[in-house]
Amino acid sequence: MPKASELKRGQVVDIDGKLMMAQSIDVRNPTARGASTLYRVRFSQIPGGGKHEATYVGDDILKEVALERRKASYLYREDDLYYFMDAEDYSQYGINGSVIEDQLPYLIENMEGIMVSLVDGNAIAIQLPPIVVMEIVETVPGMKAASATGRTKAAKFANGLELQVPEYLETGEKVKINTETGKFSSRA
């Protein structure tokens, strides 16, 4: 049973019988003497995606859920279900798209290195690798002398993702994208 002060982003806890994953944790140190540090936590319900916010004092105890993490690869999408295959025993897990909507722009077929979180054998969440490599499928032509400037332009990727990249990049080039910030990282 973790204390509120030990809670980490991505950790799953049981709140009133519902599974909640910590999405963000805001730590506040009040200026009054003797005041306790406050932890404002934004949770998302899994599965389902409902939002919940709560504020805790550092010594508040939360009920942790037995969570199993398995390495997997992304297989395919069928309607609103996304299927992943376990890297060790080749079993498949289906997750509803609404649960992983923040990660969908970075999913590529046959992508490996994904961690699937399981509770009682049911997939409830995924964790993408911190960096993914994607190919630019559409952008305005690159400028040769643009490498010295910090200007950017819009680029489109095969899965529909659009983001800002440096002006010198061209269609067909592969780039690294940070999945946590959603920004261009470097050339691949």
In sequence order, the 6+-apart residues with CB closer than 8 A to the CB of 13 are 2, 7, 19, 20, 22, 43, 62, 63, 64, 65
In terms of C-beta density within 10 A (0-12 exposed, 13-18 middle, 19 or more buried), how is residue 47 classed?
Answer: middle
CA distance 160 to 137: 9
Does this chain's domain 68-127 share its CATH topology with 131-187? Answer: yes
Is the previous residue joined to 105 through a cis bond, with omega within 30 degrees of 0?
Answer: no
SS3 119: strand
Tens digit of each residue's pLDDT, the chain (188 residues): 677 777 777 778 888 888 887 778 888 887 766 677 888 888 877 766 678 888 888 788 888 887 888 999 999 999 889 999 999 999 999 988 877 888 889 998 888 999 998 888 888 888 899 999 999 999 988 766 655 567 889 999 988 889 999 888 889 999 999 988 889 988 88
Does the pTM surpass 0.85? The reply is no
Q: Sketch the domain layout of the chain as residue ranges.
A: 4-64, 68-127, 131-187
The verdict on domain 68-127 having CATH code 2.40.50.140 is yes
> In this structure, are residues 136 and 165 in contact, taking their beta carbons and an 8 Å threshold?
yes
> pLDDT tens, 36-91?
788 888 887 776 667 888 888 878 888 888 788 899 999 999 988 999 999 999 99
Domain boundaries 131-187, corresponding CATH code: 2.40.50.140
- Partners of 145 in the beta sheet? none
- In angstroms, rounded to a whole number, what is the distance separating the alpha carbons of residues 93 and 5? 32
| CATH class for the domain made up of 4-64 | mainly beta
